[in-house]
């Protein structure tokens, strides 16, 4: 019978859950639009190489979490585990680099095979933005400000904390990489098998390890901030100054990192303590080396992604279902006229509930069940006069209204 249940790590979004999801996604979309970000959608699956190249052969996502399969044409494809790689691929394959800078917003499902837990699923949803073609600190400032505005509109920002760090420029990372390898080599035998492999191929990835033993070793590792070039320090100072000017509070977390080589300069996370251990609701950073890694021209980029499920969990306001206008016909003639009236009202953007059967008592019960705000009652007498009885269900007030005036009378009920 397992085939009749949702696959582990997935769930159905029934109307109440869907309202919360839609509210999160629409809030993110509107906030991003205010900053000039236009919505795009990339395919839910890509050639596997898109993600292997960008996420790294030693990352947990690539080695353990990707949904990869061979299609009927023999191509190896992967359900997207994140969306930045798809946007970067589109930038190259669609020839968009000549139109830089570009501001993109996205929202949709992602897929990772991982242990399901609070706010984390195998099919989950993200919203995010990507700013491509801007190398100045102002890009980082705007991207962070967009995320803060999104959370502010959700009513969650006052319960969130922005953590900020710098990874430095290429020279900074090269200098830091050298001392990091020296430090980690002294603990090689105590590192996890995965981290021992990463130490050879991509030592910065060890900093992202989720192994508890690795984390204890990394906790005492040298800090990247000690190896910043003057240019990298100035860049980070400019980002902080911009956030200060906007009144966006933050804390510096020097252990906040991104292990892949194409990340640089600013990285950030926004957390909400309401969520417990898995408290990150939004995270991002600068990835100036990503597009060139994928075979495109050198193109600076910075962006963030936010988990819709987690953001839905921190919503405090109720999101009740929209309240319809119920049409209650009595008799065959009224049934026919009700069908026309419902169509006329819907064309004017009213939410209308028209039952399919039942006497007046059953239809009024239906109106109460769907929390209708008003009932339009039609019988032979009303039709003969060219009227309908309009009853406001909250107050019980009722009056007869000419059929031609229904839309104007019901306008406050939208």
- In whole angstroms, give the CA distance from residue 54 to residue 244: 33
Q: Which residues pair with 391 in a beta bridge?
A: 375, 398
What CA–CA distance (Å, rounded) separates 221 from 179? 9
DSSP letter assigned to residue 94: T
Calculate the dihedral angle through the C-alpha atoms of 248, 254, 259, 262, rounding to the nearest 10 degrees: 50
- Binding-site residue set for L-histidine: 82-84, 112, 126, 130, 258, 262-263
Three-class SS of residue 281?
strand
Find the helix or strand (DSSP H, E) in which 162 lies.
strand 160-166
The CB density around residue 360, as the number of other CB atoms within 10 Å, is 14
Please, which residues have CB within 8 angstroms of residue 8's CB and are 6 or more apart in sequence?
Answer: 116, 122
> For residue 138, what are the contacts with CB-CB under 8 A and spacing of at least 6?
238, 242
The torsion angles phi and psi of 83, rounded to 5 degrees, stand at -110, -15
CA dist list (Å): 88 to 32, 303, 331: 19, 11, 61
User: How many Å apart are CA 208 and CA 194, to the nearest integer?
Assistant: 11
**C-alpha angle 150-278-113 in degrees, rounded to nearest 5:** 100
Binding residues, as ranges, are: 82-84, 112, 126, 130, 258, 262-263
Number of C-beta neighbours around residue 404 at 10 A: 10
Residue count of the chain? 414
Strand partners for 111: 123
């Amino acid at each position: 019978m397992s085939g009749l249940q949702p696959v582990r790590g997935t769930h159905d979004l029934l109307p109440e859950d869907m309202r919360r999801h839609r509210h999160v996604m629409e809030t993110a979309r509107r906030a991003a639009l205010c900053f000039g970000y236009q919505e795009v959608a990339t395919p839910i699956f890509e050639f596997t190489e898109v993600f292997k190249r960008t996420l790294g052969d030693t990352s947990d996502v690539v080695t353990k979490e990707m949904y990869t399969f061979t299609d009927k044409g023999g191509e190896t494809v992967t359900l997207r585990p994140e969306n930045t790689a798809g946007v970067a691929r589109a930038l190259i394959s669609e020839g968009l680099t000549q139109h830089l800078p570009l501001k993109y917003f996205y929202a949709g499902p992602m897929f990772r095979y991982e242990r399901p837990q609070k706010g984390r699923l195998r099919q989950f949803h993200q919203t995010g933005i990507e700013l491509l073609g801007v190398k100045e600190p102002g890009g980082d400032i705007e991207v962070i400000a967009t995320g803060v505005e999104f959370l502010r509109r959700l009513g969650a920002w006052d319960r969130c904390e922005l953590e900020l760090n710098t990874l430095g420029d290429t020279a900074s990372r090269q200098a830091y990489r050298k001392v990091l390898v020296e430090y980690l080599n002294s603990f090689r035998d105590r590192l996890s098998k995965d981290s021992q492999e990463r130490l050879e191929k991509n030592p910065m990835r060890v900093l992202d390890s989720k192994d508890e033993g690795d984390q204890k070793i990394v906790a005492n590792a040298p800090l990247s901030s000690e190896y910043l070039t003057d240019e990298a320090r100035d860049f980070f100072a400019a980002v902080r100054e911009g956030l200060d000017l906007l009144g966006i509070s933050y804390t510096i977390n020097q252990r906040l990192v991104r292990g892949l080589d194409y990340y640089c300069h600013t990285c950030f996370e926004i957390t909400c303590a309401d969520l417990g251990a898995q408290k990150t609701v939004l995270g991002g950073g600068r990835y100036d080396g990503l597009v060139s890694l994928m075979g495109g021209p050198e193109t600076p980029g910075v962006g963030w992604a936010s988990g819709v499920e987690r953001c839905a969990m921190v919503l405090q306001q109720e999101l009740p279902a929209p309240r319809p206008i119920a049409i209650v016909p009595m008799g065959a003639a009224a049934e026919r006229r009700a069908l026309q009236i419902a169509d006329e009202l819907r064309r004017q953007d009213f939410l209308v509930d028209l039952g399919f059967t039942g006497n007046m008592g059953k239809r009024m019960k239906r109106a109460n069940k769907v929390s209708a705000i008003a009932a339009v009652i039609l019988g032979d007498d009303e039709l003969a006069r060219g009227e309908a009885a309009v009853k406001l269900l909250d107050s019980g007030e009722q009056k007869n209204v000419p059929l031609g005036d229904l839309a104007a009378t019901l306008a406050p009920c939208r």
